[in-house]
Amino acid sequence: MKQTRIITSAVLAIAAAATVAPVVATAVVPAMYEERVARAEEDRIIQSPIGGIQAKHWFNYRANVNESQKELSSDLRHASDIEDQRDAWEEYGSELRHERGTYVKAMAKKGYRVPTVYIEGL
């Protein structure tokens, strides 16, 4: 019985150490400025059509966003130095910003606006 408890305790200690070790071994790499800006633009990707209207503008917007994401992936894979990575992230962020603006303008022309929520007192 004592032997089983010792083995069980040893196995639990090893399992606990194994789960902690990878967390300790990972290093935090700071993101580049361009990446942070692009990630902020990524958070602003419109998830549902403005006014619930799934027209050609919506499908073009989604297709262009997907194409931008694929292009970013390709550019980062082929980047040979940090400057290429910076350029890829900067291009990605500007493409997302441009596509969102184009879609919002097209829908505004049709009389639909992006819903905006204002919180007072903050």
Task: Select from 59, 20, 65 the least CA-distant residue to 44.
Answer: 65
Q: What is the pLDDT of residue 28?
A: 64
Which pTM does this prediction carry?
Answer: 0.71
* DSSP assigned state of 44: T
Q: What is the pLDDT of residue 119?
A: 85
Give 10-residue mean pLDDT values along the chain (122 residues): 52 51 56 93 95 94 98 96 96 97 95 84 73
Domain boundaries, the chain: 33-109
3-state secondary structure of 30: coil
* Count of residues making up the chain: 122
- DSSP alpha helix (H) spans, 26-55: 33-43
Q: What is the pLDDT of residue 5?
A: 52
